Structure 1
Amino acid sequence: MSDIKNILLVGVGGQGIILASKILANGLMSAGYDVKMSEVHGMAQRGGSVTTQVRFGKKVYSPIIGRGQADILVSFEKMEAGKWIDHLKKDGKVVVNDYEIPSAPILTGQAEYPKGIIEELQKYTDITVFKAAEIAKELGNIKTMNVVMVGALVKAMGLDNINWDEVVKNTVKEKFVGINIKALRKGMEQVK
């Protein structure tokens, strides 16, 4: 049995998924894991899908997570969870930000935002759902939503023994360290 863990982070361009993955990868490396990360930007500047794949363990040879291999799927936007659910292992976990960013076809009236995504996912998987954007707004900066999501991921995977405060200090710009540490802790509080 492999000791490698697979994390798939998905969302929409502009949500800070790349920074979230860097915080995660830096924390895992600081704990002594071999870490590989892959990112796909797609049409990120136009509100398109963004995914990052983080794999860690004793020795990791490839950054790519195939279908049915993700231990955890972290979705920064709920429609993206539905698009990527096929990458989750049967006993995997899902962490979803209950947040909507309409795609171009929805904005132009060619399609409707799908209803019942979270309810459908709840039928089939272990899922934690919360409103990371509202938490980030309460902290005073919606842009910290990504770090709220990292906090939830860290707690969901039992990785809260790593010094994440130090990781945040070493990863984000100095003037944003304090608010991002608060965001990380608020995210951790969302997972029981």
Structure 2
Amino acid sequence: MTKSILLVGVGGQGTILASKILTTGLMQEGYDVKMSEIHGMSQRGGSVSSQVRYGEKVESPVIEIGGADILVSFEKMEALRWLKYLKPEGKIVVNDCRMDSMPIIGGKADYPEGIVEELKSKVPTTVIDADGEADKLGNTKVANIILLGALVKKMGLEDIDWKKIISENVKEKFIDLNIKAFNIGLNLA
């Protein structure tokens, strides 16, 4: 049975690195894995999405509307934007983080209120202050790895050697920090 994971965020949040680590771990575990990325205007704080599908045999990397088992959102408005891609029985892991888009910064749109409450009213939602937890570790750039840890826990993929995979995919001086971040995510989920 194929599982579909949708990771969404804003440019610069590390969505693609988290997807790469996830994909590597799933492949090393022997799954057939397909991944597709959409960068959009990621250099300017635009939407970024990564679709990861895994199972015994995966035909397509594309997750259709209503096809994702889990949605991991690095920014809460992105969770709302991508909600239609979640299966009716799907789950959300959302970073309680607000990043204003260009229309909001420019005064052409308002940031919606009550996003987390709306998500919780529709699907099982795990809210994590990944940015706050990363800040406690002294580096906000590891919020993505905290969210990856939470995703791994929610998907029941803890048996994979994530420590090794993280070590192979981040700069040497940041290995310990990223492993700590990953473990925080596991514990928060």
TM range, smaller chain: over 0.9
Structure 1 residue 64 displacement after superposition: 0.5
SS at match of 1:166: helix
* Unaligned residue ranges in structure 1 (runs of 5+): none
Amino acid at match of 1:153: L
Q: In 2, Cα distance between the equivalents of 1:16 and 1:181?
A: 15
Q: In 2, Cα distance between the equivalents of 1:140 and 1:59?
A: 41
Structure 1 residue 170 displacement after superposition: 1.3
Q: Which residue of 1 aligns with 2:172?
A: 174
SS at match of 1:7: strand
Q: In 2, Cα distance between the equivalents of 1:139 and 1:37?
A: 30
How many pairs are equivalent? 189
Amino acid at match of 2:36: S
Q: Which residue of 1 aligns with 2:35?
A: 37
Q: Which residue of 2 aligns with 1:47?
A: 45
Aligned counterpart for 1:119 among listed residues 96, 117, 120:
117
Question: Is 2:101 the counterpart of 1:110?
Answer: no
Structure 1 residue 115 displacement after superposition: 0.3
Question: Is 2:32 the counterpart of 1:67?
Answer: no
Aligned positions of 1:85-96 closer than 5 A? 85-96=83-94
Structure 1-normalised TM-score? 0.97
Aligned positions of 1:82-161 closer than 5 A? 82-161=80-159
SS at match of 2:173: helix
Aligned counterpart for 1:26 among listed residues 11, 24, 27:
24
Runs of 4+ aligned structure 1 residues displaced above 6 Å come to none
Structure 1 residue 109 displacement after superposition: 1.3
Q: Which residue of 1 aligns with 2:54?
A: 56
> Once superposed, what is the RMSD of the aligned Cα atoms?
0.6
Identity %: 58
Structure 1 residue 40 displacement after superposition: 0.2
Aligned counterpart for 1:77 among listed residues 52, 75, 78:
75
Q: In 2, Cα distance between the equivalents of 1:170 and 1:190?
A: 24
SS at match of 2:126: strand
Amino acid at match of 2:55: G
Structure 1 residue 122 displacement after superposition: 0.7
Q: Which residue of 2 aligns with 1:7?
A: 5
Structure 1 residue 17 displacement after superposition: 0.4
* Unaligned residue ranges in structure 2 (runs of 5+): none
Q: In 2, Cα distance between the equivalents of 1:130 and 1:172?
A: 23
Amino acid at match of 1:71: D
Q: In 1, Cα distance between the equivalents of 2:65 and 2:43?
A: 26
Structure 2-normalised TM-score? 0.99
Amino acid at match of 1:17: T
